Amino acid sequence: MLPPFPFEIAFSHMLQSLVEPFTTTVMIAFTWLGSPTIWIGLGLGLHWLHHKKLAVRILMISIITAFVVEGVKTFFARPRPGTEFLRLYTDGITEKSFPSGHATLVSAQTMHLLRYEHAPAYLAVLAAVLVLGVAISRVYLGLHYLGDVIAGIAIGSLLGWAFWKLHQLPRIQEWKAELRPYKYELLIAIVAIISLALMLLQKEIGSIAATLGFLVGFYLFDEEDPRQQPLAFEGLAMVKVVLGFFSTSLFVLLNWQLVGSIQGFGILSFVVYFFAGIYAAVIFPGLWARWIHSIQKKPRRKKR
């Protein structure tokens, strides 16, 4: 067990001395920006807008980060700040504190996005504000110590950079080409291993199961159409994304009804989220494409 250091306790007390309603609202908003739900949602939205390569990378980073964080948390077993601090937000947290999962995830995603897009300086500044905002919010809300979020930023930045770097290595590209004929067997093996790990860890069930379902649907059933071009978030594309989120969120409501809690674990809960991922990857885009095609095929009435 890793106890808090005196400077961490002092920093938490200093931040919580600034507690007031507006600041708390802002901090909760920042905390949401570091949640798996937001990043998985971003990945789904990009997929529906035909930015498929980037969407898959964002979802893969989400699932990798979840397992790395849980492994480190289990090893250090550091408890969260105790009753001497105000706990201003409690949605779905466990009692392990080191490192901060939110700080790790937002750091990994922003580091990868900055490297992937070769972002200009102003986006790097915005990314830094986002990462620092999420990190500070976790301490302000009484959910982490300073060391937890610093470790999260370090681990996440390393994960994001390593994920980007690995995809640049020539040997990795060769391996991907060599393994492509066995992609179905590899995917089944990965799903089986991660599913077993989920049963053992019983953490982040919903987000990991949905991400797994998405990857299975994407790699097994999604057909690459060279005519598809990335869409701007406007007009019908905006309607598509909104309908996608709305219809996919129905699976969360179904899980609440069947299992009783979004954090509840069970085979039924796993199946519901897993199918939600498949739906988001291939079923919804297929239904949307058929609807658009039917509209375009309808003959227009000639004006008399």
Q: How confident is the model at residue 196 (pLDDT cuts 50, 70, 90)?
A: low
Report in angstroms the alpha-carbon separations of 278 from 15, 45, 86, 119.
42, 14, 40, 31
Position 301 in a domain: no
| pLDDT interval class at 198 (50, 70, 90) | low
Residues 46 and 180 in one domain: no
Residue 60 and residue 185 in one domain: no
pLDDT tens sequence across 54-75? 888 898 898 888 888 888 888 8
Domain identity same for 134 and 214 = no
| Of 65, 7, 8, 5, nearest in space to 211 by CA | 65
Secondary structure, 3-state, the chain: CCCCCHHHHHHHHHHHCCCCHHHHHHHHHHHHHCCHHHHHHHHHHHHHCCCHHHHHHHHHHHHHHHHHHHHHHHHHCCECCCCCCCCCCCCCCCCECCCCHHHHHHHHHHHHHHHHHCCCHHHHHHHHHHHHHHHHHHHHCCCCCHHHHHHHHHHHHHHHHHHHHHHHCHHHHHHHHHHHHHHHHHHHHHHHHHHHHHHHHCCCHHHHHHHHHHHHHHHHHCCCCCCCCCCCCCHHHHHHHHHHHHHHHHHHHHHHHHHCCCCCCCHHHHHHHHHHHHHHHHHHHHHHHHHHHHHHHCCCCCCC
- Please determine, for residue 24, whether its predicted confidence score (pLDDT) is greater than 50: yes
- Report in angstroms the alpha-carbon separations of 302 from 8, 294, 299: 74, 19, 9
Q: Are residues 3 and 23 in the same domain?
A: yes
Q: Is 197 exposed, middle or buried (0-12, 13-18, 19+ CB in 10 A)?
A: middle
Domain of 143 in residue numbering reads as 1-168
Q: Give yes or no: residues 120 and 266 share one domain.
A: no
Question: Over 80: is that where the pLDDT of 37 sits?
Answer: yes
Asked if residue 304 is part of any domain, the answer here is: no
- Domain stop point among 168, 201, 232: 168
Rounded CA-CA distance 88/162 in Å is 34
Shared domain check, 22 and 145: yes
Q: Say if 229 falls within a structural domain.
A: yes
Domain count, the chain: 2
Assess whether 16 and 163 both reside in one domain: yes
Residue 159 has pLDDT above 90, yes or no: yes
What is the predicted pLDDT for the residue at 256? 65
The residues with which 79 forms a beta bridge, in sequence order, are 96
| Domain-located, residue 99 | yes
pLDDT digits (tens, 9 = 90+) for 221-265: 765 555 566 666 667 888 888 898 998 888 777 766 665 554 445
Q: Give the whole-angstrom CA distance, residue 271 versus residue 172.
A: 32
- pLDDT for 253: 77
Average pLDDT over residues 40-55: 88
CA distance 281 to 61: 17
Predicted local distance difference test score (pLDDT) of residue 28: 92
What pLDDT score does 252 carry?
Answer: 74
For residues 164 and 180, membership in a common domain is answered with: no
Among the candidates 123, 148, 168, a domain finishes at: 168
The answer to whether residue 210 sits within a structural domain is: yes
Whether 153 and 181 map to the same domain: the answer is no
Q: Which of 110, 133, 168 is the last residue of a domain?
A: 168
| Residue 302 belongs to some domain of the structure | no
- Are residues 152 and 81 part of one domain? yes
State whether 57 and 83 are in the same domain.
Answer: yes
Model pTM greater than 0.85? no
113 is a domain residue: yes
pLDDT of residue 262: 46
Cα torsion for 200, 253, 212, 223, to the nearest 10°? 170
Residues 216 and 283 in one domain: yes
Residue 216: which pLDDT band, with cuts at 50, 70 and 90? confident
| Per-residue pLDDT tens over the stretch 82-140 | 877 777 777 666 778 889 989 999 999 999 888 876 767 778 889 999 999 999 999 99
Determine what percent of the chain is predicted with pLDDT higher than 90: 18
Whether 303 maps to a domain, the answer reads no
